[in-house]
Structure 1
């Protein structure tokens, strides 16, 4: 049976490549922590995270090119936001392609909207590569930077894990209540 550290070493790069398809920020930051502690190579971690982000955005972009309008029409309540995003993409295409990866809540639908906006693939691809590497470098570096703090916290505090779980649960509850209230008011 593999130990936790062996799992990270064997499957960590695959996980960070698949991570952007699911939930990229958290996994990229955790990969940075793993790199800080020597389980992963930082440069390979950034590379694999960026590749996963590029593949994800490329897929969604081409999905938007092919099926974007019918898919986006299903979001009746958000049509004005979608149209506003399209207008902004037309005005600032480079900024939007690079910045979409950083826009929490817009990460999945953003490349789809960009795909429907008429931006040519030959322009999207290099900008997507720049955005993916920029995002991967920042997120993994954040994890790398806080990795030392996390290790010190867990090595000196016997109940630090319980406190972290309690804080995470409280934050999750607060965010859930806030989202429910926001939907009711909308």
Structure 2
């Protein structure tokens, strides 16, 4: 788990690692695999344990959230790349572009709170032509609130997290086993259809 990986770091290096993870989550599109909310929850837990003062944790969470979104927007504007270009080129992309241009502000606000979409929304909004002037007033308050909420939830749930973190491991193992069974049955059905 993320907390275990970062627990041995000294306070300032721990804070820097969390900030880099949250910024990179949006800026480098790793948020599709590693949501920044996990890093901010960990920051909140460590703040409750006295590793990082709460005001510092809240400040780092909000600044990193805003910075990551803005770097993602800049990447979509100045280096849209194959991901944005390919996604925005198809019929679904054209509809998404229309939605982003028509309701860009509210799409940016909602995208901030959806796992995976937080990573992609600023990039796609910029690539779709949403102006920075429309992006800024919707993104900054939403990113600040997102950073504050996740750090505060981690801070408030620290004790429960420490007592019940084993349950997440058990749930992940059960889910993996269920996916393997379902996947195996699906493959068996495909094989049966191909043989018939």
TM-score interval, normalised by the smaller of the two chains:
0.7 to 0.9
- Give 1:106 shift: 1.9
> Secondary structure of 1:39's match?
coil
Q: Which residue of 1 aligns with 2:64?
A: 52
Deviations 1:19-65 (A, max 9, x none): 22233011111111111122112222122122222222212211211
**For the structure 1 residues 99 and 44, does the alpha-carbon distance in structure 2 shift closer, same or farther, using more than 3 Å as the test?**
farther
Q: Report SS of the residue matched to 1:104.
A: coil
Aligned partner of 1:38 among 35, 50, 63:
50
Instruction: Name the CA distance, whole Å, in 2 between partners of 1:113 and 1:177.
Output: 36
Q: Judge conservation of contact 2:40–2:150 (CA < 8 Å) in 1.
A: yes
Gaps of 5+ in 1: 155-159, 182-186
Match of 2:157 in 1: 146
Aligned twin of 1:95? 106
CA contact 1:19–1:49 (8 Å) conserved in 2: no
Query: Does the 8 Å CA contact 1:5/1:39 hold for their aligned counterparts?
Result: no
Tell me the equivalent position of 1:168. Answer: 172
TM-score by length of 1: 0.74
Structure 2: which 5+ runs fail to align? 1-5, 26-34, 187-196
- Tell me, in whole angstroms, the C-alpha distance in 1 between the residues paired with 2:37 and 2:182: 21
The CA distance in 1 between the partners of 2:105 and 2:90, in whole Å, is: 23
Q: Which residue of 1 aligns with 2:40?
A: 28
Partner of 2:19: 17
Tell me by how many angstroms 1:17 deviates: 1.1
- Quick one: distance in 1 between partners of 2:178 and 2:73? 33
Answer yes or no: is the 8 Å Cα contact 1:32–1:142 preserved in 2: yes
State the match for 1:7 in structure 2. 9
SS at match of 1:119: coil
| Paired residue secondary structure (1:64) | helix
Structural mapping, 1:120-135, within 5 Å: 120-135=131-146
